[in-house]
Chains A and B, each alone.
Chain A
């Protein structure tokens, strides 16, 4: 027997594996969504008022940024499928850039909250009461975990770009790019739920 089966490649399988992993990520956030809904139910008024503290404009800008980045990462995949490697790399670069802009916005947004004394354990927050403590605790935990996922997603995309340059991802072998894109869509999807929960429901 020749060893062809050793380098046997199964793109369907790697996609299936990635979907299963994404599924566990959704459940990971699912735990926090449960906690959010319970504390929102217990502290409806306080959550309502605390939600008005958040800056809708930054939230909307960040949502648009992430949605656009989902589009560019999808475009990079199509470019690869059509054999246009330059365009593919360009689109990945735009995606990474958008991700970085998102994180920068987040940094300033968090900074303002800290300036106002709205962070876990602050004396000011303790005076506000239980509902506010829970709201901002969840806000930092959930957007923080999401930001962590953005960083992981960006790292994956950078690795993807390096692999493309080295020729390890090619127009006939792009499962890794596709999976990296899927992960980025997941990060985007989670934000689509976080955004209304914290910024829009008043």
Chain B
């Protein structure tokens, strides 16, 4: 694989995974389906707007894909579209950037829809103080989508203007500043990480109490930490740019804020563990995925602190250490949570149960493969192997081979899991209304739920808690 092909591969991999899969993943699939049911509503508040954001999503994907097959060749700047690459490259940048813009617009409309739904559609007695934690996480996510996405929207528009009109916003030759681009980009793209991980945390906060057969420990603390992440996460972006040139004061401030934003995440982990403590734990596949999430997320989180402190960041910046950290959080964290949610809610969505044996095998294979694939990258990065180079020095060879073998194991695990889920959804045994003895509202309706969710809108004013 030559350098140009390699550049295109990691760029397109990043654009598609981030903007198309991970950001909309949990909210679009499970949020759309379960948010209304969990608050006792028949649908989201603006069904037509929801349809529009779906069309925009499809249009955005098509636009991104256009960049692969039309003149100029696939984009090669990395998914971050850093200036000056993004306005100097001769590859087909415009459709990729425009596609990301359209996907952002779709994301904004989804967030807007969910926030309004939560404010206006809750069933009688469903208060903010007893809303399921998954709903809370979608709520926090919605606000991040509204706060952060417009910034990347305007930034991408400026990149397009740079390419066609040569205004010079980010071009030093014309008085512009490429570092300013990095700031604008990360003002969105750091919060975007929380758009990805908050719904995942919400899923885990539903699954753990269900299988511990115990109320969640520290409901209020989890709610507060969700909103704290949404707020503080907005002010840490420059930790991506410690080596780009900024004042020591700025480095210190952004490093401190980055450490602060780790606290609410840790609070959640403590609460999940405390919920499991002395629970009547029932080992089921969703719980295994949730525990896998906690393990991988914590490795990802702690290594995030290495990157958030200026001194160590300078050493491992732009090495495969960053790649490993990011994938532990997003693939290990959000990916595991997605699978946890899929196994948890599959019986509700399709009314059928997956095969437990193969689901467990799939998880174990995934978990082993994941660690074999990504853990060596921490070591490689620490030893100084840079990322985004199509070749590496001989001394890095062995661990790269280990990593590659891990990727095969990981892929096998994913295939087993997905095939098993599809087979379960098609012809698994009937699951019944409430296979997990869950206590949120989706378990009070038939599986699969009727098109309007509820015949009679539930009234929770008499019951003490819904969560």
Contacts and interface: CB of A to CB of B under 8 A. Distances in A.
Interface of A: 1, 5-6, 10, 12-14, 16-17, 20-21, 23-25, 27-32, 34-35, 38-39, 42-43, 120-121, 126, 129-131, 133-134, 137, 140-141, 145
Q: Give the contact-size bracket for chain B.
A: 35 or more
A13 B169 contact: no
Contacts of A39: 175
Contacts of A5: 42, 457
Nearest to A10: B120
Contact of A13 (B120, B155, B158, B457): B120
Majority SS of interface residues in chain A? Answer: helix
B231 interface: no
Contact of B180 (A12, A25, A38, A133): A38
Contacts of B120: 10, 12-13, 16
B49 interface: yes
Contacts of A31: 150-151, 153-155, 158, 184
Contact of B167 (A6, A14, A25, A137): A137
Nearest to A39: B175
Nearest to A119: B165
| Residue from B149, B153, B168, B452 with most neighbouring chain A CB atoms (10 Å) | B168
Interface in B432-456: 452, 455-456
B1 interface: no
Nearest to B112: A20
Given A1-B455, A5-B42, A141 B151 contact: no
Interface in B306-357: none
Q: Which 7 A-B pairs have the closest CB atoms?
A: A130-B175, A31-B154, A137-B167, A27-B150, A28-B150, A13-B120, A120-B167
Contact of B174 (A1, A133, A141): A133
B72 interface: no
Interface in B332-388: none
Contacts of B108: 21, 24
Contacts of A141: 158, 161, 167, 169
Nearest to B456: A1
A21 B112 contact: yes
Contact of B175 (A6, A29, A34, A43): A43
| Residue from B112, B146, B149 with most neighbouring chain A CB atoms (10 Å) | B112
B287 interface: no
